Amino acid sequence: MPTLPLGLVCVATATEKVGHDVRVVDLLNQPDVRMVIREALEEFRPDVIGISLRNIDDQCMKNTKFLLDQEKGVVADCRDFSNAQVVVGGAGYSICPEASLAYVGADMGIQGEGEKAFPALIARIQERAGLEGIPGLYLPGRGLQSPRVFTQDLDGIPLPDHHLWRSCNLNFPEFWIPFPIKRGCPMNCSYCSTPAIEGNAIRRRSPGAIVEGIARHVEAGFRHFYFTDNIFNIPSSYAREICRSLIAQRLGISWMCIIYPEQIEEDLVKDMASAGCSEVSLGFESGSERILRIMNKRYKPDDVRKTSQLLVDYGIRQTGFLLLGGPGETRESVEESLVFADSLPLDTLKVTVGVRIYPNTALAKRAVDEDMITADDNLLLPKFYLVGGLEDWLYETVSTWMAKRPHWVM
């Protein structure tokens, strides 16, 4: 799925709302990035440039694509055509804030959500005042300047403004507009980077505000949405409220989301379908109860099976995910997962081999204990956990299974 720069548009919307002139430049799929940057900077002449570092890498163990060299190039291009301060932020940035700031050579970085911090920073730059107290601000070589703040009242920060999507590369036939609902994930999966990006306490917007934001997009002609929450269905009472508000408004939209296969009741799946949910990502990751426990998952294979069947019953398409080769994995548990995935009514299955190690996770600690990485590795350059001796066998085995299953991808 081609992605739009949602985080950047959220920050741009908030910056525009406090009265600044803003220009969004989407560098994805641009044949000549330097030229696009040059034209934008010479025409707009910004005082501050914000760059979203969404991805550090593609998270694939084989032929890993490390993406920060492109982003370093973008910072250098900005410096060639402008004297503005260059500030970086974004999901990828927030995972390794100090190391990625040093790597790309920007003037500053903001870890975590930027809707309040970025306009606050601009105000200080404008007033030529000190930078103390800006939440989540990093300076090169000087580290974190002030603790980050997780906004509790999400309704107090604006939803992305649809007019800014017009400056993005929307020339795909059926575009799924990314749309955020809540923030934070309390699940604490052993390998996940989300706590570093949005914290582990759930923060919600009111369903009314969500539906209003979507309705504004619908008026502007958008009909397909990707709800970007890590987990749409938790808490399920809130997910149902969102669905019921969407049903009541009859917006005629279709949407996708990511779900966690724990205690999904039939009523929720039914409401999701009635509200326009056409497809979900079902990230069950393993079919082995033992491996699920090691990953700190709260569900069992039976919960996954029940969820998968409910989705079929209500006509919602599903993409399953397997994450193989992590701690405790054996040939037997891999085979158990493949047999399990094969027995589910999935439309697509995505198989990942090797687990990207992110800082401050249980997986990183284990990798240090097992001498896979050193304790001082900042993990900006991608490192993967893969149980010793499994690698060749895993790729071969998954490839063999895939050969007869065209709906599986690795």
Provide the binding-site residues for ligand B12, judged by CB under 6 A. 1, 3, 6-8, 10-11, 50-52, 54-60, 87-92, 94-95, 110, 113-115, 118, 176, 178, 180, 193-194, 197-198, 226, 228, 230, 356
Report helix angle 236-249 to 207-219, nearest 10. Answer: 40
Closest approach of Cβ 93 to ligand B12, in Å? 7
Q: Which of 180, 261 has the CB closer to ligand B12?
A: 180
**What does residue 158 show for φ and ψ, rounded to 5 degrees?**
-70, 150
Closest approach of Cβ 327 to ligand B12, in Å? 17
Closest approach of Cβ 302 to ligand B12, in Å? 26
Q: Which of 52, 333 has the CB closer to ligand B12?
A: 52
Closest approach of Cβ 336 to ligand B12, in Å? 24
Q: Which of 58, 80 has the CB closer to ligand B12?
A: 58
Closest approach of Cβ 185 to ligand B12, in Å? 7
Residue 338: helix, strand or coil by DSSP? Answer: helix
Q: Which of 117, 246 has the CB closer to ligand B12?
A: 117
Cα(287)–Cα(324) distance, integer angstroms: 10
Cα(382)–Cα(361) distance, integer angstroms: 14
Q: Which of 279, 329 has the CB closer to ligand B12?
A: 279
**What does residue 389 show for φ and ψ, rounded to 5 degrees?**
90, -10
Q: Which of 96, 275 has the CB closer to ligand B12?
A: 96
Vertex 295, ends 407 and 408: CA angle to 5°? 5
User: From residue 354, how far is each of 188, 310, 383, 385, 410 by CA, in Å?
Assistant: 19, 30, 9, 6, 11
Closest approach of Cβ 356 to ligand B12, in Å? 6
Residue 339: helix, strand or coil by DSSP? Answer: helix
**What does residue 146 show for φ and ψ, rounded to 5 degrees?**
-155, 140
Q: Cβ neighbours of residue 101 under 8 Å, at least 6 residues apart? A: 88, 93, 108, 109, 138, 140
